[in-house]
Structure 1
Amino acid sequence: MEPRQLEAFAAVMSTGSITGAARLLARSQPAITRLVQELEAEIGYPLFSRHGPRVTPTAQGFLLHEDAERALAGLRQIHLRAAEIARGDAQPLLLAATSALAVGLLPQGLRRVEAQTGPVPIQLRTAAPEQVLHAVLTGAVQLGVCSLPLAHHGLQVHWIAQLPCVAVLPAGDPLAEQTTVPLAALAQRRIVTMSNPFRLRHRLDAELARAGRAPDRRDALIETNSSTSAQALVRAGLGVAVLEPLTAHGAPMEGLVVRPIDTDIPFFFGVITPPSRPLTAPVQALADALLQAAQLLPGFVQRELADHALLLDDGAAKRAAKPPAKRAVSRRPAR
Structure 2
Amino acid sequence: MELHQLEAFSAVISAGSITGAGRLLGRSQPGVTRAIQDLELELGYALFDRKGPRVTPTQRAFLLYAEVERSLVGLEAIRASARAIGLDEARPLRVAATPALAAALVPRALARSGAPADTHLRSAAAEQVVDALLSRAVDIGIATLPLAHGDIDLHYVIEAPCVAVLHHADTLTQAASLSLSQLAPRGLATVANRYRLRRGIDRAFEAAGLRAHVVLESNASLNAMMAAQAGLAVAIVDPATAFGTPVAGVVTRALDVDIPFFYGVFSAAGRPPRDDVKAFVEAVETISLELLPGAKRHGAERHDALVARREASGSLHASEGAIA
- Per the normalisation by structure 1, the TM-score is 0.90
Supply the AA of the counterpart residue of 2:160. Answer: L
Corresponding residue for residue 334 of structure 1: 323
**SS of aligned partner of 1:295:** helix
Residue 202 (structure 1) shift: 1.0
Residue 270 (structure 1) shift: 1.8
Corresponding residue for residue 290 of structure 1: 284
**SS of aligned partner of 1:233:** helix
Residue 314 (structure 1) shift: 5.5
Residue 154 (structure 1) shift: 3.2
Once the two structures are superposed, the pairs formed by residues 3-18 of structure 1 within 5 Å of their partners are: 3-18=3-18
**SS of aligned partner of 2:236:** strand
**1:105/1:290 contact within 8 Å kept:** yes
Q: Does 1:210 align with 2:199?
A: no
Measured in 2, the distance between the counterparts of 1:203 and 1:79 equals 41
Once the two structures are superposed, the pairs formed by residues 230-309 of structure 1 within 5 Å of their partners are: 230-296=224-290, 297-309=292-304
Residue 212 (structure 1) shift: 4.5
Q: Against the structure 1 CA distance between its residues 214 and 181, is the aligned structure 2 distance closer, same or farther, given a 3 Å change threshold?
A: closer
Q: Against the structure 1 CA distance between its residues 204 and 31, is the aligned structure 2 distance closer, same or farther, given a 3 Å change threshold?
A: same
Q: Which of 164, 172, 184 pairs up with 2:161?
A: 164
Q: Map Cα deviations across residues 274-308 of structure 1 (whole Å, 9 max, x no partner).
A: 01111111111111111111122211122232221
Residue 311 (structure 1) shift: 3.4
Corresponding residue for residue 133 of structure 2: 136
Q: Against the structure 1 CA distance between its residues 322 and 111, is the aligned structure 2 distance closer, same or farther, given a 3 Å change threshold?
A: farther
Q: Against the structure 1 CA distance between its residues 316 and 333, is the aligned structure 2 distance closer, same or farther, given a 3 Å change threshold?
A: closer
How many residues were matched structurally? 321
Corresponding residue for residue 149 of structure 1: 146
Measured in 2, the distance between the counterparts of 1:21 and 1:265 equals 47
Q: Against the structure 1 CA distance between its residues 332 and 271, is the aligned structure 2 distance closer, same or farther, given a 3 Å change threshold?
A: farther
Structure 1 gap segments, 5+ residues each: 324-330
Residue 255 (structure 1) shift: 0.2
Q: Against the structure 1 CA distance between its residues 194 and 267, is the aligned structure 2 distance closer, same or farther, given a 3 Å change threshold?
A: same
Residue 14 (structure 1) shift: 0.5
Q: Map Cα deviations across residues 90-142 of structure 1 (whole Å, 9 max, x no partner).
A: 1111111111111222222212112xx7x532111111111111112222211
Corresponding residue for residue 326 of structure 1: none
Q: Map Cα deviations across residues 206-253 of structure 1 (whole Å, 9 max, x no partner).
A: 2123344336x5xx4211000111111211111011111101111100
**1:192/1:230 contact within 8 Å kept:** yes
Residue 332 (structure 1) shift: 11
Once the two structures are superposed, the pairs formed by residues 48-87 of structure 1 within 5 Å of their partners are: 48-87=48-87
**2:203/2:312 contact within 8 Å kept:** no
Q: Does 1:92 align with 2:92?
A: yes
Q: Against the structure 1 CA distance between its residues 317 and 156, is the aligned structure 2 distance closer, same or farther, given a 3 Å change threshold?
A: farther
Measured in 2, the distance between the counterparts of 1:315 and 1:169 equals 25
**2:189/2:235 contact within 8 Å kept:** yes
Structure 2 gap segments, 5+ residues each: none
Could you tell which deviates more after superposition, 206-215 or 290-299?
206-215
**1:184/1:212 contact within 8 Å kept:** no
- Per the normalisation by structure 2, the TM-score is 0.93
Q: Against the structure 1 CA distance between its residues 272 and 318, is the aligned structure 2 distance closer, same or farther, given a 3 Å change threshold?
A: farther
Measured in 2, the distance between the counterparts of 1:149 and 1:137 equals 15
**2:70/2:132 contact within 8 Å kept:** no
Measured in 2, the distance between the counterparts of 1:20 and 1:169 equals 44
Corresponding residue for residue 327 of structure 1: none
Once the two structures are superposed, the pairs formed by residues 150-229 of structure 1 within 5 Å of their partners are: 150-214=147-211, 217=213, 220-229=214-223
Q: Does 1:310 align with 2:305?
A: yes
Measured in 2, the distance between the counterparts of 1:179 and 1:83 equals 55
Measured in 1, the distance between the counterparts of 2:19 and 2:99 equals 34
**SS of aligned partner of 1:291:** helix
Corresponding residue for residue 124 of structure 1: 121
Residue 334 (structure 1) shift: 2.1
Measured in 2, the distance between the counterparts of 1:48 and 1:135 equals 27
Residue 260 (structure 1) shift: 0.3
Measured in 2, the distance between the counterparts of 1:58 and 1:226 equals 28
Supply the AA of the counterpart residue of 1:130. Answer: E
Supply the AA of the counterpart residue of 1:192. Answer: A
Residue 146 (structure 1) shift: 1.2
Measured in 1, the distance between the counterparts of 2:72 and 2:23 equals 19
Measured in 2, the distance between the counterparts of 1:151 and 1:138 equals 16
